[in-house]
């Protein structure tokens, strides 16, 4: 019939651009060949995620909508932001390594003469729609256009708070390269990034960008942007190694034994950027899939104590290198108080003698220099007064035994 359009084509026409595109063709064939793809989906290390505690949807809803809890989930005042300037970034880092946390999981890493931008999110909301979804709690520290040239953009996975359509479209107009987990390239090509600027990696695969080696390493998480989550795009943590320095970015992940393997293969690190926010003990009953939302459940996100322990695992049991907590402070994604991740992380790092940096968004610092440690979140957020679980203190004897065990395995 003239003018007839199928229901499926009509639905495709209504599909928001932010949903991206599903892998197909040779990309999908490569996904099927991956040793980490089985039974039609990518598999987490250690097997499927399972509930650690049983919480009902009613309990979860109560935690989200309780008046006092909701009040504590947002800052009570203006979040301090360092307005990053060209002068901040124009001079090379004296030590060869400088980090600038832009908020959430976005970090500009200047390493051995090159610039790496992890999980850049400059959009106002982490959502497929501009009028709904978690909104920024502080402005970006500087306009993306004034950031300057970036050698490579590294994406950990395709969730909205890590892969942002407006940001990718802006960067698509530059000559930067993109390093992404397997399958995520379909989204970027759909948004205008040419295939020759993509470095699309499976776990344990590496690519060279100038003098840097970028390696995709395992993480324990999941993926998906549309109404139907096909689990056809991979999630990853990343190791970036230069001639003199090496760093690690966790992306989103639950705690798992694989951190020790990553540390043994690629560590120790001068700095780690590790997810410590958006955690919760709630999980639906009967082992069902997580309640739809940004992802704040056990086994796929870490709390601060787990984040610090992950850093120690990566450092072969020693409190070395600098720990930069990420994935907190910028979006309201879980029922915990907004300021709690900062306070808990500081307590967890202090418990094991781990150097940790707590910059306000936009403040550059060098891990080998003076670290920002001001407790700025206390001025604008509710800090609960209770004791959190903490990692066990690291002793010289345990660290020495760890080294002996690793030597024996080599």
Predicted confidence (pLDDT) per residue in 125-165, tens digit:
999 998 999 999 999 999 999 999 999 999 999 999 999 99
Instruction: Name 21's Cβ contacts closer than 8 Å, sequence gap at least 6.
Output: 186, 187, 189, 190
Q: Strand, helix or coil at 64?
A: helix
The Cβ-side half-sphere exposure at 115, using a 13 Å CA radius, reads 15
pLDDT (0 to 100) of residue 284: 33
Tell me the CA distances in angstroms from 97 to 31, 121, 178, 265, 366, one per residue in order. Answer: 35, 22, 21, 21, 6
Pair 266, 241: CB distance under 8 Å? yes
Query: Is pLDDT larger for residue 57 or for residue 25?
Result: 25
Q: State the average pLDDT over residues 76-81.
A: 95
How far from chain centre, in Å, is Cα 397?
A: 33
Q: Assign 1 a pLDDT band (cuts: 50, 70, 90).
A: very low
249 three-class SS: strand
pLDDT at 45: 92
User: pLDDT tier at 335 (50, 70, 90 boundaries)?
Assistant: confident
Whether 198 and 188 have beta carbons less than 8 Å apart is answered as: yes
CB 239 within 8 A of CB 270: no
What pLDDT, on a 0 to 100 scale, did the predictor assign at position 299?
78
Asked whether the beta carbons of 179 and 153 are under 8 A apart, the reply is yes
Residue 66 or 75, more confident: 75
Do the beta carbons of residue 330 and residue 68 sit within 8 Å? Answer: no
Q: Is residue 112 over pLDDT 80?
A: yes
Cα–Cα distance for residue pair 338/332, rounded to 1 Å: 7
Cα 270 to its chain centre, rounded Å, is 18
Give the number of other CB atoms < 10 A from CB of residue 135: 13
DSSP secondary structure of 90-117: HSPPTTSEEEEEEETTEEEEEETTEEEE
Backbone angles phi, psi at 116, to 5 degrees: -120, 130
- Say how far apart CA 229 and CA 207 lie, in whole Å: 28
Position 92 scores a pLDDT of 95
- The residue-averaged pLDDT of 67-84 equals 85
Residue 50 banded pLDDT, cuts 50, 70, 90: low
The pair of three-digit structure tokens given for residue 193, joined into one six-digit string: 């990034």
pLDDT of residue 406: 45
Concatenate the DSSP letters of all residues of 11-22 into one string: HHHHS-GGG---
Bridge partners for 239 per DSSP: 215, 248
Which position has the token pair 């006092």?
A: 68
Cis peptide before 268 (omega within 30 of 0): yes
pLDDT of 404: 37
Token pair 């704040």 is at which residue? Answer: 296
Q: Which two tokens stand for residue 403?
A: 């080294």
| Amino acid 238: pLDDT | 98
Q: Is the distance from CB of 95 to CB of 110 less than 8 angstroms? A: no
- Print burial letters for 387-410: b (CB count within 10 Å at least 16), e (below 16): eeebbeebeeeebeebeeeeeeee
Q: Is the dihedral of CA 343, 274, 161, 84 positive or negative?
A: positive
Alpha carbon distance 320, 317 (integer Å): 9
pLDDT at 85: 87
Beta carbons within 8 Å of 45's beta carbon, 6+ residues apart = 218, 220, 256, 258
Confidence band, pLDDT 50/70/90 cuts, at residue 5: very low
Is pLDDT above 60 for 333?
yes
The rounded percent of the chain whose pLDDT value lies above 70 is: 81
Q: How many helices (H) and strands (E) does the chain have?
A: 11, 15
Tracing tokens 């409190």 back to the chain, one arrives at: 319
Show Cβ contacts of residue 169 under 8 Å, excluding neighbours closer than 6 positions: 191, 192
pLDDT in tens, 25-49: 999 999 999 999 999 999 999 876 6
397: Cβ–Cβ under 8 A, 6 or more apart, which residues? none
Q: What is the mean pLDDT of residues 261-284?
A: 88
Instruction: Pull the structure tokens for residue 105.
Output: 């999981």
Mean pLDDT for the chain overall: 86
For residue 388, what pLDDT band results from cuts at 50, 70 and 90? confident
Which strands make up the sheet holding 237-241, listed edge to edge?
206-209, 212-217, 237-241, 246-249, 271-275, 322-326
pLDDT beyond 90 at 121: yes
């Amino acid at each position: 019939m003239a003018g007839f359009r199928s229901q499926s084509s009509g639905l495709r026409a209504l599909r928001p651009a932010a949903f991206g595109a599903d892998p197909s063709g040779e990309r999908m064939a490569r996904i099927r060949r991956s040793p980490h793809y089985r039974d039609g989906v990518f598999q987490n290390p250690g097997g499927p995620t399972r509930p650690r505690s049983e919480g009902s949807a009613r309990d979860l809803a109560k935690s989200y909508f309780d008046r006092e809890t909701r009040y504590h989930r947002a800052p009570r005042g203006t979040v301090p932001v360092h307005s990053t300037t060209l002068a901040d970034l124009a001079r090379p880092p004296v030590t060869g390594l400088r980090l600038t946390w832009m908020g959430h999981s976005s970090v500009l890493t200047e390493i051995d003469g090159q610039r790496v931008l992890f999980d850049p999110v400059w959009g106002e909301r982490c959502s497929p729609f501009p009028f709904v979804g978690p909104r920024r709690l502080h402005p970006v520290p500087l306009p993306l256009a004034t950031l300057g040239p970036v050698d490579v953009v590294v994406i950990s996975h395709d969730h909205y708070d890590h892969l942002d359509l407006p940001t990718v479209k802006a960067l698509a107009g530059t000559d930067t390269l993109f390093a992404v987990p397997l399958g995520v390239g379909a989204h970027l090509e759909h948004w205008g990034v040419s295939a020759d600027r993509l470095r699309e990696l499976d776990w344990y695969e590496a690519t060279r960008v100038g003098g840097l080696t970028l390696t995709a390493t395992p993480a324990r998480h999941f993926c998906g942007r549309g109404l139907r989550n096909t689990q056809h795009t991979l999630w990853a943590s990343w190791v970036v190694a230069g001639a003199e320095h090496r760093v690690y970015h966790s992306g989103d992940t639950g705690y798992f034994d694989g951190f020790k393997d990553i540390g043994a293969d690629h560590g120790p690190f001068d700095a780690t950027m590790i997810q410590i926010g958006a955690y919760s003990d709630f999980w639906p009953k009967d082992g069902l899939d997580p309640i739809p939302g940004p992802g704040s459940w056990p086994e796929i996100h870490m709390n601060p104590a787990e984040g610090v322990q992950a850093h120690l695992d990566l450092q072969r049991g020693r409190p070395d290198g600098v720990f930069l907590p990420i994935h907190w402070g910028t979006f309201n994604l879980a029922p915990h108080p907004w300021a709690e991740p900062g306070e808990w992380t500081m307590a967890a790092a202090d418990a094991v003698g781990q150097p940790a940096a707590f910059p306000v968004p936009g403040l550059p610092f060098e891990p080998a220099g003076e670290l920002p440690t001001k407790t700025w979140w206390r001025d604008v957020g509710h800090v609960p007064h209770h004791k959190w679980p903490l990692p066990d203190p690291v002793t010289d004897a345990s660290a020495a035994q760890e080294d002996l065990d690793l030597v024996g395995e080599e």
